[in-house]
Structure 1
Amino acid sequence: MTEAALVALRGASFAYEDGPTVVDGLDFEVREGRALALLGRNGSGKTTLMRLLSGGLKPRTGRLAVEGRQVTYDRAGLTRLRTTVQLVVQDPDDQLFAASVAQDVSFGPLNLGLPDDEVRARVDEALAALDITALADRPTHLLSYGQRKRTAIAGAVAMRPRVLILDEPTAGLDPDGQELLLGTLDGLRASGTTVVMATHDVDLALRWADDVALLTPSAVRTGPAAATLARTELLRQAGLRLPWGIAAAQLLRFQGLLPGGASGPRTAEELAAMAGPPTPTAPSVSSDG
Structure 2
Amino acid sequence: MTSPTPVVELVKAGFAYEDGPAVLSGVDFAVAEGRAIALLGRNGSGKTTLLRLLSGGLRCGSGSLLLDGAEVAYDRKGLTRLRTTVQLVVQDPDDQLFAASVGQDVSFGPMNLGLPEEEVRLRVREALEALDIVALEDRPTHLLSYGQRKRAAIAGAVAMRPRVLIMDEPTAGLDPHGQERLLEALERLREAGTTVVMATHDVDLALRWADEAAVLSPAGLRTGPVGELLADDALLTAARLRRPWGTSVARLLRAHGLLGADAAEPRTPEDLDAWVTAEVAAPGRPS
Point out the structure with max Rg over C-alpha.
1
Indicate the residue corresponding to 2:127 in structure 1: 126
SS of equivalent residue, structure 2 residue 129: helix
How far did residue 24 of structure 1 move?
A: 1.2
Q: 1:231 to 1:277 in 2, by over 3 A?
A: closer
Structure 2 length-normalised TM: 0.95
Extract unaligned runs of 5+ from structure 1: 280-289
Indicate if the aligned counterparts of 1:3 and 1:68 stay in contact, CA closer than 8 A. no
Task: State the AA in 2 paired with 1:178.
Answer: Q
Indicate if the aligned counterparts of 2:212 and 2:223 stay in contact, CA closer than 8 A. yes
| Residue 112 (structure 1) aligned with residue 113 (structure 2) | yes
Instruction: Give the 5 Å matches for 1:60-75.
Output: 60-75=61-76
Extract unaligned runs of 5+ from structure 2: 281-287
Indicate the residue corresponding to 2:13 in structure 1: 12
Distance 2:48 2:128 in 1: 26
Task: State the AA in 1 paired with 2:74.
Answer: Y
Distance 1:218 1:45 in 2: 12
Distance 1:12 1:277 in 2: 47
SS of equivalent residue, structure 1 residue 22: strand
Distance 1:183 1:197 in 2: 14
SS of equivalent residue, structure 1 residue 57: coil
| Residue 205 (structure 1) aligned with residue 206 (structure 2) | yes
Distance 2:136 2:20 in 1: 43
SS of equivalent residue, structure 1 residue 173: coil
Task: State the AA in 2 paired with 1:35.
Answer: A
Distance 1:123 1:274 in 2: 41
Structure 1 length-normalised TM: 0.94
How far did residue 25 of structure 1 move?
A: 1.7
SS of equivalent residue, structure 2 residue 13: strand
Indicate the residue corresponding to 1:247 in structure 2: 248
SS of equivalent residue, structure 2 residue 20: coil
Give the ranges of 4+ consecutive aligned residues of structure 1 lying more than 4 Å apart after TM superposition: none
Task: State the AA in 2 paired with 1:232.
Answer: D
Task: State the AA in 2 paired with 1:75.
Answer: R
Indicate the residue corresponding to 1:223 in structure 2: 224
Distance 1:44 1:186 in 2: 27
Indicate the residue corresponding to 1:170 in structure 2: 171
Indicate the residue corresponding to 1:44 in structure 2: 45
Identity %: 69
For the aligned residue pairs, the C-alpha RMSD in angstroms reads 1.5
Indicate if the aligned counterparts of 1:86 and 1:161 stay in contact, CA closer than 8 A. yes
